[in-house]
Amino acid sequence: MAEVVLYHHAQGLTDGVKAFAEELRQAGHTVHTPDLYEGNTYVTLEEGIEYASSTGFGVILERGVQAAQGLPEQVVYAGFSLGVMPAQKLTQTRPGATGALFYYSCLPVEEFGSWPDGVPVQVHGMDQDPFFTEEGGDLDAARALTAAVPSAELFLYPGKAHLFADSSLPGYDEPAAKLLLQRTLDFLA
């Protein structure tokens, strides 16, 4: 079974993120869920982004990197949206990554150097999510990653929701979330 470090999105370590981690645990995986927000959660995405902005995105990223320091090197790094920052950085810069799972976000590979040889990755997002498809260039980065890395997969789901697999938020899309979870479990197997 896999050991996974799962980083939360901009609304914090919500009940939905915890429930997702528990689904992975029920399948036999070891899952770590670092809290990059020091216990804070936010009702809206805008409030969470404001917290990250006022704290400093670099500080949030460093908290994520530090959270992995005591863990074995052979882990799968996973992140929801904002959590993709530390997940992708660690996948690309910390030796031993066995895989990467990026939900709702993807940064250009050049941000952290090059993609490590032989490390598989999945990127998941909704095909009409403005955060994923327009604002930050995440979809373009995901397409470039999947074009350059033979073991990379991009999954697009129909819809506009950003945090669609978080069961504790209004944008939860149960059919898409179940498919995302199944693809995640297949990847981890």
Q: Per-block average pLDDT, block size 10, for the chain (189 residues)?
A: 97 98 98 97 96 97 96 97 98 97 97 96 97 90 96 97 97 98 98
Question: Around Cβ 115, how many Cβ atoms within 10 Å?
Answer: 19
* Phi, then psi, of 32 in degrees rounded to 5: -105, 135
Alpha helices in the chain (DSSP H): 15-26, 45-55, 57-67, 84-93, 130, 138-148, 174-188
The structure's pTM equals 0.96
**What's the confidence (pLDDT) of residue 136?**
73
Return the pLDDT at 116.
Answer: 97
- Please report the pLDDT score of residue 125 as a whole number: 98
pLDDT at site 79: 98
Amino acid 77: pLDDT: 98
Tell me what pLDDT residue 96 has. 95
Beta-sheet strand order (sheet of 30-32): 30-32, 3-7, 76-80, 99-103, 121-126, 152-157
Are the beta carbons of 41 and 76 closer than 8 angstroms?
no
Q: Which residues pair with 27 in a beta bridge?
A: none
pLDDT score recorded for residue 135: 75
**What's the CA gap between 155 and 59, in Å, rounded?**
30
Backbone angles phi and psi of 170, in degrees to 5: -60, -25
- 98: tokens are 């066995």
User: How high is the pLDDT of residue 147?
Assistant: 95
Instruction: Indicate the Cα dihedral angle 65, 71, 73, 78, nearest 10°.
Output: -60
CB-based contacts of 188, cutoff 8 Å, min separation 6: 1, 2, 4, 24, 27, 29, 76, 99
DSSP percent split of the chain into helix, strand, coil, nearest 5: 45, 15, 40
Query: Which pLDDT score, from 0 to 100, does residue 62 have?
Result: 97
CATH of domain 3-188: 3.40.50.1820
